[in-house]
Chains A and B, each alone.
Chain A
Amino acid sequence: MLKLPIYLDNNATTPMDPRVLEAMIPYFTEHFGNAASRNHPFGWEAEEAVDYAREQVAKLISADPKEIIFTSGATEGDNLAIKGVFEMYASKGNHIITAVTEHKAVLDTCKHIEKAGGEVTYLSVKEDGLIDLKELEAAIKPTTILIAIMYANNEIGVIQPVKEISAIAKKHGVLFFTDATQAVGKIPVDVIKDGIDLLTFSGHKMYGPKGIGALYVRRKNPRVKVTAQMDGGGHERGMRSGTLNVPGIVGFGKACELCRLEMEEDTKRISQLRNKLENALLQLEEAYVNGNTEHRLPHVANISFKYVEGEGLMMGFNKNIALSSGSACTSASLEPSYVLKALGLGDDLAHSSLRFGLSRFTTEEQIDYTIKAISETVLKLREMSPLWEMYKEGIDLNSIEWAHH
């Protein structure tokens, strides 16, 4: 039987896989040692578990275990990569290139860099959410030290041309950092083939625990270093101090292993469900997909339903279906999603969008229920929408002088 509510907000966080939890449990009470305690069996056990997990994590992205720095999550990874490179390579330059659709953890870190005397170029994106490679190359100058472009976007799921970006970075002797939080575990990510110098990701977006993540820092060709952002015991090759979160690391490792082994099958099934959902919802009049659909994560769909407002729409089913909207009606600013606006969507379409994030645990029954509930709510709200009525009467909404407040 269908169990409600249905969770389709997996870009925000995923449920933990029970197999991950099982792997973690002994490391809370039984094997509780500090991985840095070198002189007794409790420490050895913990260290062994961390080493094993480090291998599991590294393997998922084709890295060497020595290149994995454990962090508290992707936000810390973003901070450590960008601030760490900015400080470590200060003698080389102070210019960083990023894009306007990056996660706030990258954008706000870049703002911090600007305050600290750095220079940041924010690339715009094309209508489909992809960056323009020519623009990227043109933005590089002698002082450029880092390109920070996300692997895949958290709102629209669009996958950036990572290989091409890294080729450009290499050609100009610039480091390339990618926030791959939404991509790792969902699609093949290979730091060697992709030519990535630094990469961050997080456990809780891939069926692992919250509060644990990793920063990949390349050790060869070139050897990359980042300045630590926290002072302390010099853990993680001096780049990230702090007692290791052993249970979290064990769970993260297990989650990475499961993703590596099951990705192909999961992706096939999840993308079929996503396509079913998307195709059914696009049967509604005036419904549009946001972002490139060819270069896109298999589990994500972002759809705008014109003439209905996202938050009002969600209210029609949010007791039973959990997802998120590009509308920001609850925030004080009333500003809709900056990512959707960067695609050139009008504020009205951005306000009308829903983001679907499917997971390993999503079922066809859930998708069928969702299609029905959302279609019904859209139709109901359109009956209630003055904009829909005007559209149906053939009135051009742009010809009306709206009272902006």
Chain B
Amino acid sequence: MAYSEKVIDHYSNPKNVGTLDKASKTVGTGLVGAPECGDVMRLQIEVDEATGIIKDAKFKTFGCGSAIASSSLATEWLKGKSVDEAVKIDNMDIVEELNLPPVKIHCSVLAEDAIKAAINDYRKKNGLEELVFEEKGVH
């Protein structure tokens, strides 16, 4: 299967690989997927407390090229967004941007799940109620 150029680019030059301090109150961490399924994503956001803007985002992903590209793209999109805007990132936007084929849609869903998990972790740490999301159920 041939990958799109954008997937190859993110895979070859991934943006924002790394680790934020998960103990920090301003950092939200989302860890989704499972090793047995062949993909695990960890996505972290660091929120500016004064403005509510995501000032940094990092990821580490175990998975195929599309999973790596989806999480790399997600961190790019997250930076500079407010937490409320970030919640609205939809997996189909990722599919479109990366030209993912149908068999790789689950990678984008995983990235969306990781974003939501990171946001909820951040909300929980800051005494906010966790958001309830609808199951996409595509995996």
- Chain A residues proximal to chain B, CB less than 8 Å: 307-312, 315-316, 327-332, 334, 336, 346-348, 351, 383-389, 397, 400, 402-405
Contact = CB atoms under 8 A, between A and B. Distances in A.
18 contacts: A309-B62, A309-B64, A310-B38, A315-B11, A334-B38, A334-B139, A346-B35, A348-B36, A348-B38, A351-B36, A384-B68, A386-B31, A397-B35, A402-B33, A402-B34, A403-B33, A403-B34, A405-B139
From B11, B34, B113, name the one whose CB has the most chain A CB atoms within 10 angstroms.
B34
B132 to A, nearest CB: 15
Interface string B83-115: 000000000000000000001001000100100
Contacts of A385: 60-62
Contact of A386 (B41, B64, B65): B41
A329 B61 contact: no
5 pairs of A and B residues whose beta carbons are closest in the complex? A402-B34, A347-B36, A348-B35, A405-B139, A386-B42
B77 interface: no
Given A384-B60, A387-B62, A404-B36, 13 more contacts: A309-B38, A309-B64, A310-B38, A312-B62, A312-B64, A312-B65, A330-B103, A332-B103, A347-B36, A347-B37, A348-B35, A386-B41, A387-B40
Contacts of B14: 384
B57 interface: no
Contacts of A312: 11, 62-65, 67-68
Contacts, number: 97
A247 B34 CA distance: 51
Contact of A405 (B34, B62, B63, B65): B34
B53 interface: no
Given A351-B35, A402-B34, A389 B19 contact: yes
A404 B34 contact: yes
B62 A334 contact: no
Interface of B: 1, 3, 8, 11, 14, 17, 19, 31-42, 60-65, 67-68, 103, 106, 110, 113, 139
Contacts of A400: 31
A405 B136 CA distance: 11
A315 B1 CA distance: 10
Given A403-B34, A405-B34, A307 B3 contact: no
Contacts of B61: 384-386
B74 to A, nearest CB: 14
Contacts of A402: 33-36, 40
Given A309-B64, A311-B65, A386-B61, A330 B1 contact: yes
B73 to A, nearest CB: 14
B105 to A, nearest CB: 11
Contacts of B32: 403
Given A330-B103, A384-B14, A405 B33 contact: yes
